[in-house]
């Protein structure tokens, strides 16, 4: 087929157009987004890994570390696929370090040997006293709870619990009921003696000595002020620091309640480093969320309700479940108090 200068020129033009259309373009905007993501991810990771509480926004981001870890790992792998090597390697390596910290909560630790008195402790935040009292008492009965730690206990809720029959299953109590969300309490099958185990705080944190058949234990219904209030996290930091440490020469101590803190917050990790274990973490349930009770996209579910047990007490079981009317899920753990 014969060609002319005109057809040759037309073919060359078409060739240039096709080449221009199919040639992949490197997006400077995509690279910019990856760099921004890497900066934010590494900043959040360093806050967690260096044990920095910081302001309320930094504390809120630390509570989301399990989610941030997954997102950072996925974006890091995406960056590697797009051959953004520096961004991809940085994010992936930091994410792997976080995975090593977070993922272990989903696997049970070896149970230490120990025999003694089995004790079952339940903690439940009552949402300013509007949780369903009958549901609370029903769970106490069905789960054979020995000691119940309550937060946001109001005078009206005390009356509702009495009408629901709490006194029949847990007749002993130390209740510091107050209107609103500041009250707390402890109820027990076993005799209780009130103990002041924490300094005065914004919210009540009831403490009691539980007279078990064998060795006694001390229990605190934990409820520090949330760190995200407009006044800042100072009260939360102070009240977490004021919680009692284990007493190696005295009664075994149990901290149960709404800590308003996850296992990634430094205030809680300091307690664990002083001789407590998180019961849920011990049995491989440390990633099960406790607030809000109804899972959704926003706010992201987090684990802020805990039972911290003296390291001398082997943990057997942990259950996390909804309580009708409350925005927090309850936690029940069984452990053994050694003789």
DSSP letters of 129-165? TTS-HHHHHHHHHHTT-SEEEEES--HHHHHHHHHHT
Flag whether the pTM goes above 0.85.
yes
Where does the pLDDT of residue 316 fall: very low under 50, low under 70, confident under 90, or very high at 90 and above?
A: very high
| CA-to-CA dists, residue 117 to 60, 128, 173, angstroms | 39, 33, 20
Residue 111 has pLDDT above 90, yes or no: no
The CA-based angle 298-97-237, given to 5 degrees, is 55
Number of H helices, E strands in the chain: 11, 12
Q: What's the confidence (pLDDT) of residue 10?
A: 54
Where does the pLDDT of residue 221 fall: very low under 50, low under 70, confident under 90, or very high at 90 and above?
A: very high
Q: Tell me: the pLDDT tens digits for 137-194?
A: 999 999 999 999 999 999 999 999 999 999 999 999 999 999 999 999 999 999 999 9
Q: What's the confidence (pLDDT) of residue 260?
A: 98
| C-alpha–C-alpha distance, residues 336 and 111, integer Å | 11
Could you tell me which residues come within 8 angstroms of residue 299 by beta carbon, excluding any fewer than 6 positions away?
292
């Amino acid at each position: 087929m014969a060609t002319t200068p005109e057809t040759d020129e037309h073919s060359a033009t078409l060739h240039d157009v096709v080449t221009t259309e199919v040639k992949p373009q490197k997006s400077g905007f995509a690279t910019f987004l990856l760099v921004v993501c890497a900066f934010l991810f590494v900043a959040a990771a360093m806050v967690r890994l260096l044990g920095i509480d910081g302001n309320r926004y930094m504390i809120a981001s630390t509570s989301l570390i399990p989610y941030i870890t997954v997102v950072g790992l996925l974006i890091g792998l995406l960056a590697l696929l797009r051959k953004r090597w520096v961004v991809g390697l940085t994010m992936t390596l930091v994410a792997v370090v976080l995975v090593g910290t977070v993922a272990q909560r989903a696997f049970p630790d070896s149970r230490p040997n120990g025999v003694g008195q089995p004790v079952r402790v339940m903690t439940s935040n009552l949402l300013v006293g509007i949780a369903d009292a009958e549901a609370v008492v029903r769970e106490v009965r069905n789960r054979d709870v020995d000691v119940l730690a309550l937060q946001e206990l109001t005078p009206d809720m005390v009356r509702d619990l009495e009408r629901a029959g709490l006194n029949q299953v847990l007749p002993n109590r130390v209740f510091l009921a107050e209107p609103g969300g500041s009250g707390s309490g402890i109820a027990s099958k076993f005799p209780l003696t009130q103990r002041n185990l924490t300094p005065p705080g914004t919210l009540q944190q009831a403490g009691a000595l539980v007279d078990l058949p064998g060795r006694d234990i001390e229990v605190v219904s934990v409820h520090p002020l949330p760190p995200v209030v407009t006044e800042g996290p100072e009260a939360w930091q102070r009240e977490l620091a004021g919680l009692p440490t284990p007493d190696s020469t005295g009664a075994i101590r149990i901290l149960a309640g709404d800590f308003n803190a996850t296992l990634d917050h430094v205030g809680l990790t300091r307690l664990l480093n002083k001789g407590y274990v998180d019961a849920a973490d011990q049995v491989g349930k440390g990633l099960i969320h406790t607030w809000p009770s109804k899972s959704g996209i926003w706010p992201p579910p987090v684990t802020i309700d805990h039972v911290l047990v003296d390291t001398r007490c082997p943990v057997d079981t942990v259950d996390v479940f909804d309580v009708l009317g409350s925005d927090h899920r309850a936690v029940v753990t069984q452990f053994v108090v050694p003789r």
